[in-house]
Structure 1
């Protein structure tokens, strides 16, 4: 992972969660594993959705990890780019939808 995200120190700090609450971390990992396992949606589709969501939540670790997992699940570079543009549209759409607040203030 690139150092410019949050750095190795941040990853080490986050890893403390395993030490402090191992049962909750294991429950999270089990849940995550079930969510991303093959189901009605393919693993590839789920990973493409995760790539888009990671861009919306702006989590650099998730962006990197789910992009790698999407590639491993068979996603093409073009499919990954398209998923990212879905996220771009959703973020822009949220801003547009909230424009009603500013427009209402101007009334």
Structure 2
């Protein structure tokens, strides 16, 4: 017995599939394809030595700052990423950090 699908069912399914594809494209355009939001998702994090991870813990690094006015991106120790969508670094400890991260070594950038 052949599997018959009415024209109406076919068009409804086709439209639903198009909506799903369009929605995923919009999410990517709204930041879904940008820089990682956690340091562990950054390139190079897996190769950070255990001793260096301990130093990160000593500085109490977190991926989400508790204070919007103090984050890695506006810290004097932040090393900006080389490319768009990449993670930055820190002069205080090894391994990648995210721009919205924070640690107890935060220091304001000097006035320009």
The higher-RCO structure (CA 8 Å, 6+ apart) is 2
TM-score by length of 2: 0.29
Instruction: Work out which of the two has the higher radius of gyration on C-alpha atoms and give 1 or 2.
Output: 2
Q: TM-score normalized by structure 1?
A: 0.30
